[in-house]
Amino acid sequence: MACSRLMLLLIGVISSHLPEVHSRPVDFWCRTQARGNMQQMIEDLRKAAARCDSLPSPVQLPSVKMNVALWGRKTTQHKRAELVGTIRAFQDGVQEARVNVTSQCQTSVLEKLEHRIRNDLLILNSSHIQTDTVTSPPARADFSSQTNKLSEVLKQYELLLKGKLNHFAIDVHDIICREDRTTNVTER
């Protein structure tokens, strides 16, 4: 428990020094508005990408499709591992694409997306659920397609945030937010 608190504190300190992250990681899980604000950034990037949509090389896109019935039967650990694997696959694709671009517009959008992805991984890795007895290693992502369109990369990442990540946030909300309320009460 003390280790989890220390980890959350460390992530909170790191996150507070990162641009566009003005809340604690626990806020992502406990406040729908915080998730919405963070997802808004992807929509803003999509608008910016309209000026420079064609990438010089294709980006492999992990599958972001979600079968709600199947998702509901997965353990929390498996859901988290699947999300980490998929987000890391996006991270790898974005890093690879960034190496090949020459346009300042594309570089800027990809750097901001890469930053967003790192923040999402930090937030996801901060979700140490007390009911989890075993931590699953990140699952290998399934790839569904590839694209040369920056707007499509952003759209697929947005679908991941609004789909699996949002469902995961709903799944873990009570556990994480109860721990946060307990921690805040005992620290006062």
Q: Where are the domains of the chain?
A: 2-187
Q: What are the distances in angstroms from CA 83 to CA 72, 107, 121, 136?
A: 14, 25, 9, 11
Return the CATH class of domain 2-187.
mainly alpha
What pTM was computed for the model? Answer: 0.76
pLDDT tens profile 13-28: 454 444 444 456 777 7
Q: How far apart are CA 124 and CA 121, in angstroms?
A: 5
pLDDT tens profile 55-94: 998 999 998 999 999 999 999 889 999 999 999 999 999 9
